[in-house]
Structure 1
Amino acid sequence: MARRKCATSVSLSSSSDSSGLSESAVPVPPKKISKKVARPKKKRRSSDDDEKGTNIERDIDPHEEFVAASCCIARCMDVFCKTKQLISVGLSLQQHDAVENGDVSEDEDVRASRDKRLSKMSLKMQDRYKKNYARLLQLAPSLKPLLSDPRKTSELNIIIKKMDAAILATRSDDTSRLKSQIGHYAAFSLRSPIMPPIYDGTGSRTHLGSNHPVLAQFLCPVRELKEFAKDADKAQKKLQSGKIKMTASALPAFLWAGDLPGKDYDDDNMFEGMFEGHLLERTMRHIFTSPSSAYGGETRATRTCNAALHDMTTVEAAHIAYGCLQVRFGISAKNAWSEVDGDFNYRDFYNNIVDLIEDSPDPEWKDELLRAWNLKLFKSEEGRDGNSTTNDISSTSREERDDDLARVRAQMAARRAAKAAPARPPSPPPSVSPPPPPCELTPARSSEPTPSRESIPVPPCTPRPHQEKPKIVGVSVTAT
């Protein structure tokens, strides 16, 4: 036992102390001792790298998943979403459904209190909360264990604050990036910029909105555009004074198509051309695909577009409403964001557009509208390829390959159509015309047989021993 203790103490001591001991007294080879001594030196040499690695780990936000989900919520779900309220209502609705289905039991007082809160909401609003809550858990699956663990309440509150801040920041960032482009997008033609200029070099926006003679017509309620047709100056003054009210339920003219928005507006057929304005279309492309694709051309973006980041494969009502909100604020005279602009309420405006599209009494119109927007943003009525992680517009080689496929499909379709066409009556076999008689000059005729003439049978020809040129005999030409 003494030897073992000594051996143990020696094995942990320095190499100079163990040099005088016999090999039998030291069970650990000297090489192992040298290795143990060398390891700390290696760590010292790589201490700078370790420090860098630690800094990188510190820079990584553990809540990045929730921040990314918030960006998607702002653009694709509800820009006015309050995360805490969404979670609270979502859990209440989930519990209510579980009790109704008999999956769980609860105290009557708790149930009565919850049902009283939910009764203040319409069924349509409850359905929207259910949908958004399910989407939230899909975007941020790490929320589930936090919601079910009371010990994680403090961490959950921190995450909720970060998510709310990210939703606001997303809307603000998109507004800032559009600020320098919205004036160019408002001009129907690039060769004819809006006059007077939208950008005056001051950075102020007070000259925009109803204070700008052109943008005033963009913001004017579409049903009041006739006032501008009568007298544009008087109509602009009515907008400025509030005699023509701009409210969330009075849809602005920029939603409609036309070189001047609402130019072809039909008051008896309002939905024709609605949500087809060029300013809205360019703004939507700017936000969801890339600024370089705003005018419908090839994108030059070097990073993944927002549509791919948010796994957006088709256009929905919330996307269109978000674009409308950004356009309306972008051409207004407000220097800072606010939910209320005079008589106009942005939250109501956003919700009105979502409701108008989602609850349309004409499902065919809704389907045509969304398919048209899929085509505008993703070059296909079916939407963007969900497996793609890049922008909607692919590389040149991909486009060429797609062109070849389209050509093959077109040829296949033509072949199938030809097979399905009714069969034509067989045409008579081509006949061999006899050589012209030596005494006549016949005009050239088509080799195709005509249905009005019957083919003349030709006797079999016998080969001649020698080929001779035919002689024309007895042809006389007299001058008249």
Structure 2
Amino acid sequence: MSKLPLVRMLTYQDLGIYPSATRAVEAAIGRIVRKLVSLFDPIEALVAEYDRRQELEDTEEVDGDDEPVAHTAEQDCLHRGFLELVKWIPSVRTALVTLAPGELADLYAKLAKGANGDDVNSVRAAMVEFIGKGAKDPLVATSRHNRGLESDVTGPLLFPVEYDYSDPEIRAKVINGDPDFPVTADSWPRSLYQNGVYDPTDGEKGLFKSLSLLQTYLHIFTSPKSAVKLETDAEQPETENIPPSEPPRKKRKVTQVGKKSVAAKVSMRRVTPRSIAYAAVHHRFALSDAPQWNETDGAFDYILYYNNIVDWFEDAPGPVAQKTVDDLLAWWD
């Protein structure tokens, strides 16, 4: 573990919780793992990937082999997840080299205790404030009524960008589950786009700039009040006289933190790709009519959806794509 960068130790006091409240401590740390490190990956998988790479490096040093080792996209994602883990909870680094196997298993179990059930319910209720206020049949905070693909409020947002929602025939096929028009995590939903508008000539224009996504993020990481008060000019369409490096200004910064917000508790000063992915999963789920949390919604796989978003930010295929990512993260900040 000596090759890991030194970062500030996150203590229970940093979380606003004290060791006497053991269960609360475990739950708080677990929630940090799910929000900022990985929503779905087991901690053991992240650690195992780091160990695998360390063993490869040790073997290369012994054999004198300088050839770079190719890793799969899944392995790279797990490794980046491990680096996020030790960034946000540095004490894990010491634990991995000092605890006995049984104690490590107990640590993994504690880190996995942070469920996302609270966010599932609160974002579902908050979506009433974010969208569809003027609809004839508005959303109901405590139910899935008028949500999903059939809803006039949420249907347009859940539609994959490749399909024309305005075409009644296509809309019917998508709603009825026609196998030629699947709704999967391999396509971005319109809910991720600014104003819900997708430009087929530039598929990344407005991507991850949806106002309701921004509000979902604020609701989770800062406070529900900050989400409701987010200035609506964040949703205004981009204009030609605004340079790409200067995105539309939001009156309220995404990283503004409240006294006891998630962001404040972990000294989170910048928006991170994995926190956006976490919010996007809850955002999409809150629009659906699924009766309870599940990793799949028909053919839609939330694990794949989360990983696709993480990879879009963290595994840009070149300098041009990386600049797009950097500009977007600057826009969020």
Show the counterpart of 1:326. 282
Residues 60-99 of structure 1: matches in 2 within 5 Å? 60-61=21-22, 64=25, 67-99=27-59
> Using a 3 Å threshold, how does the CA distance of structure 1 residues 235 and 339 change in structure 2: closer, same or farther?
same
Aligned to 1:223: 162
Corresponding residue for 1:157?
105
- Map residues 190-229 of structure 1 onto 2, 5 A cutoff: 192-199=133-140, 203-205=142-144, 207-224=146-163, 226=164, 228-229=165-166
How big is the alpha-carbon RMSD for the aligned residues of Structure 1 and Structure 2? Answer: 2.9
Structure 1 stretches of 5 or more lacking a match?
1-56, 106-118, 375-480
* Residue of 316, 335, 342 corresponding to 2:272: 316
Q: Secondary structure at the match of 2:22?
A: coil
For 1:206 and 1:322, locate their aligned partners in 2 and report how far apart those are by CA, in whole Å: 24
* One-letter code aligned to 1:371: A
Paired with 1:211 and 1:82, the residues of 2 have a C-alpha distance of 35
Q: Is the 8 A contact 2:192 2:208 kept in 1?
A: yes
Distance in 2 separating the partners of 1:321 and 1:149: 32
CA distance in 2, matches of 1:255, 1:84: 31
* Contact 1:184 1:193 survives alignment (8 Å): no
**Are residue 270 (structure 1) and residue 203 (structure 2) matched?**
yes
Matching residue of 1:137: 86
Mapped partners of 2:21, 2:279: distance in 1: 31
Alignment of 1:164-313 (within 5 A): 164-166=112-114, 169=115, 171-187=116-132, 192-199=133-140, 203-205=142-144, 207-224=146-163, 226=164, 228-231=165-168, 234-243=169-178, 244-258=181-195, 261-262=196-197, 265-294=198-227, 295-296=229-230, 303-313=259-269
- The equivalent position to 1:367 in structure 2, one of 305, 326, 330, is 326
The structure 1 segments of at least 4 consecutive aligned residues displaced by more than 6 Å after TM superposition are 298-302
Counterpart-to-counterpart distance in 2, 1:336 and 1:63: 24
CA deviation vs aligned residue, 1:155-205 (integer Å, no higher than 9, x gap): 222221121121xx1x22111211211122123xxxx53331211x8x441
Q: 1:347 aligns with which of 275, 281, 303?
A: 303
Decide whether aligned partners of structure 1 residues 127 and 235 sit closer, same or farther in structure 2, where only a CA change above 3 A counts: closer
Tell me the distance in 1 between the aligned counterparts of 2:162 and 2:73. 29
Amino acid paired to 1:246? V
| 2:150 alignment partner AA | N
How many Å separate the matches in 1 of 2:166 and 2:259?
45
Amino acid at match of 2:112: D
The one-character-per-residue Cα deviations of 1:116-149 (angstroms, maximum 9, x if unpaired) are xxx9x93443333333323323433443454334
Partner of 2:235: none
Return the offset for 1:269.
1.3
Residue 350 of structure 1 and its aligned partner are, at CA, apart by: 0.9
* Structure 1 residues 47-91: Cα deviation after superposition (integer angstroms, max 9, x where no partner): xxxxxxxxxx99431893x65443222112210120122222222
Q: Deviations over 1:384-412 (max 9, x none)?
A: xxxxxxxxxxxxxxxxxxxxxxxxxxxxx
Matches of 1:62 and 1:196 in 2, distance apart?
42
1:60 counterpart letter in structure 2: A
Structure-2-length-normalised TM-score = 0.75
CA distance in 1, matches of 2:129, 2:293: 21
- Residues 428-443 of structure 1 mapped to structure 2, 5 A cutoff: none
Q: 1:230 to 1:153 in 2, by over 3 A?
A: closer
Name the % identity.
26
Structure-2 separation of matches of 1:76 and 1:142: 16
Structure 1 residue 313: Cα displacement? 2.1
Count of residue pairs brought into register by the alignment: 284
Offset at 1:257? 1.3
Q: In structure 1, what residue type is equivalent to 2:302?
A: Y
Higher Cα radius of gyration: 1
Q: Do the aligned partners of residues 215 and 96 (structure 1) sit closer, same or farther apart at CA in structure 2, a change above 3 Å counting?
A: same
The answer on whether the counterparts of 2:194 and 2:209 sit within 8 Å (CA) in structure 1 is yes
Letter in 2 for 1:197: P
Decide whether aligned partners of structure 1 residues 84 and 145 sit closer, same or farther in structure 2, where only a CA change above 3 A counts: same
Q: In structure 1, what residue type is equivalent to 2:331?
A: A
Which of 292, 307, 315 is the equivalent residue of 1:336?
292
Counterpart AA for 1:214: V
- 1:6-51: CA deviations, max 9, x gaps? xxxxxxxxxxxxxxxxxxxxxxxxxxxxxxxxxxxxxxxxxxxxxx
Structure 1 range deviating more: 123-132 or 348-357: 123-132
- Contact 2:184–2:301 (CA under 8 A) maintained in structure 1: yes
Letter in 1 for 2:220: I
